[in-house]
Structure 1
Amino acid sequence: MKKLMKNSVFRVLIIIAGNFSLGVFLFTYIIPNSLSSSFTIWLTIALFAVFMLVFTITMLCEICYDEASKHLVISADLKKAYEWMMRMKKLDVLGWYKDRYHVFLTIYYRDSVMMEELEKLLEDKNFHENQSMELVYHYNKFIVSIYNNDEELVNASYNKITDIYTENIGKKNSRTALIYSLPMINAELHYYFKRYKKANIALKNVNTAKSNKRELAHYYYLKACVLFHNGNKAESGKNIELASEVYPQGQFIKELGVEGRYA
């Protein structure tokens, strides 16, 4: 988390130092020693300018992404995270950050209980470009199908998720980002099928020490739902309070409730 907070300042310094170094290199070495005609000089300057522009835009996108991540992970401020992510999208003229943008939108739509928007987003072909994005696709299909009470799709999506985890857990040099908690996914599945005791056991396997505020809110919220249906309404209420405390902007906490939760 401290690393995230320092990244933005570091990237600004990189932009300044990088552009300055390129300018010095161009005008003190390349042009005096390698170029003779005015055409080649101006062509080289133009190419360097394009490179510097791309470099600057890339670093600015990284800054926006770092700020969005900081607000989401550290502050649990979904609105500010969304604002920074929209800035990144506007700057990303080359489309190099579309994966990060789409992953963030799945979080934003889910936490805002915008399931129709989430379902429509998952139609984008970008979710099938690599296995990491395939995992994001199947996980969010799993969430949407729970919300829509589509038992067949719940099982199908869950099987796809576990296949990806089975293939990659313990695999050396795996490029697939396993960004979701498998015990939480198991708890979601058991809860959906009203296997509340199994859901509670799965929740005990969640490593909350490594969870950020948003992830903790989902953990406390699901635990509240499980406890409620296990007849422990007092503890359920405490966990709802904990979820609301760590993630005040988590609309799912207020909107879905614990009695008829499907997302």
Structure 2
Amino acid sequence: MASTVSALDAVRLTLDRTSPVPLYHQLARQLEEAIEQGALAPGNLLGNETGLAARLGLSRPTVRQAIQSLVNKGLLVRRRGVGTQVVHTQVRRPLELSSLYDDLRAAGQDPATRVLRNERAPAPADAAAALGVPEGTEVVVLERLRLTHGRPVAFLRNHLPPDLPGPDTARLETTGLYRLLRAAGRSPRSARQTVGARCATPAEAALLDEPAGAALLTMRRTAYDDTGRPVEYGNHVYRASRYAFDFRLLVRA
């Protein structure tokens, strides 16, 4: 059951009317910080715009603009008959060789997986090159929709070498691919990875609950075992409104 508006009553909101920063932006930033810090948790209700405007001495359009900016970021959702509700914090993932499922679970993001495809099919040119097999070789093709708190965050397409058995669909829905690869004796040890960005196709937008043309983060990765053999080729897209990569950079002397 969703929490009541009392959760927002415990959040201190202060606005500086002498600041050049617009009031809606000040309010949106403080609400976002409260979500990031856990003061407002997934499921908490913010109440209606009229009540919040009266509490803060703001106009209703100002409050509506602040809330809409967080809806656009995927932090809040408006539900008919329920009101404005906190959905989640943005997924922030360290850029390292790890399973998205395990990273989400460790971060308390309540991951779930919907397997859309699990079959053997001819490898397209990019997957064949990554896996070191001739184009058209039958390989394992996986397509999965990854969700957090019941909402989609990523569409994952993976190709596995032909010598690997196709993973069990039921297990794919409850654990990460890398854990299954380790169980099959093909542990990923290193990878080459490229991160980019582009706009969502209509099909991707429908899957990820985004408008057509919305910004997506992209990631292509070829992972290798400790003998240097490729164990998987991934081609993934992530909702930019709900997902970010974290980098740790070192200065070279």
Shared fold, TM over 0.5? no
Q: Give 1 or 2: higher helix fraction.
A: 1
Q: Which has the larger radius of gyration?
A: 1
Q: TM-score, normalised by structure 2?
A: 0.25
Q: Give 1 or 2: higher strand fraction.
A: 2
